[in-house]
């Protein structure tokens, strides 16, 4: 698995998040996307872009360990996305798949191994 390239560097630690610590910017015209991964993807930055016009603009989030009532899950959370269809990128030129982000809701995507 290779991470998508982008034009800036990140210098941050990806500590696990606690239960209930994620706030989502969703509402009229906006939604969020949760990308579920295997533990080995911890720290991987996953990019998404709109399908169609604006597809050259990508946004990304890092996979983090999230403590939930049943244990630990690994996922990237991207909020504040305009409702619509998105490409989830495996790397710069390879799509991992597509997902529809609902207006005022949360979409889920399973990262392919």
pLDDT tens-digit readout, 32-61: 999 999 999 999 999 999 998 877 889 999
- Quick check: is 84 in a domain? yes
- Quick check: is 77 in a domain? yes
Determine phi and psi for 44, rounding to 5 degrees.
-65, 135
Q: Is residue 74 part of a domain?
A: yes
Q: Determine, yes or no, domain membership for 75.
A: yes
Length of the chain, in residues: 113
Q: Into how many domains does the chain fold?
A: 1
**Cβ-contact 31, 106 below 8 angstroms:** yes
Domain that holds residue 74: 30-110
Q: What integer pLDDT is reported at residue 1 of this predicted model?
A: 47
Asked if 40 and 29 touch (Cβ cutoff 8 Å), the reply is no
Q: Is residue 20 part of a domain?
A: no
Give a yes or no: residue 70 inside a domain.
yes
Compute the distance between CA of residue 72 and CA of residue 74 in angstroms, rounded to an integer. Answer: 7
Task: Note whether residue 40 is domain-resident.
Answer: yes
Cβ neighbours of 82 (radius 10 Å): 12
Block means of pLDDT (10 residues each) for the chain, 113 residues, are 52 55 85 97 96 86 91 94 97 96 97 91
Give bridge partners of residue 45 from the DSSP assignment: 62
CATH of the domain at 63: 2.60.40
CA-wise closest residue to 37 among 79, 10, 77: 77
Task: Please name the residue ranges forming H helices in 1-113.
Answer: none
In a domain, 9, yes or no: no
């Amino acid at each position: 698995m290779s991470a998508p390239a982008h034009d800036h560097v990140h210098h941050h630690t990806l500590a696990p998040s606690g239960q209930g610590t994620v706030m989502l910017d969703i509402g009229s015209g906006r939604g969020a996307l949760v990308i579920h991964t295997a533990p080995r993807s911890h720290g991987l930055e996953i990019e998404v872009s709109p399908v169609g016009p604006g597809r050259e603009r990508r946004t990304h989030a890092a996979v983090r360990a999230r403590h939930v009532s049943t244990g630990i899950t690994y996922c990237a959370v991207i909020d504040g996305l305009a409702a619509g269809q998105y490409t989830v990128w495996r790397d710069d030129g390879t799509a991992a798949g597509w997902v529809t982000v609902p207006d005022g809701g949360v979409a889920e995507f399973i990262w392919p191994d």
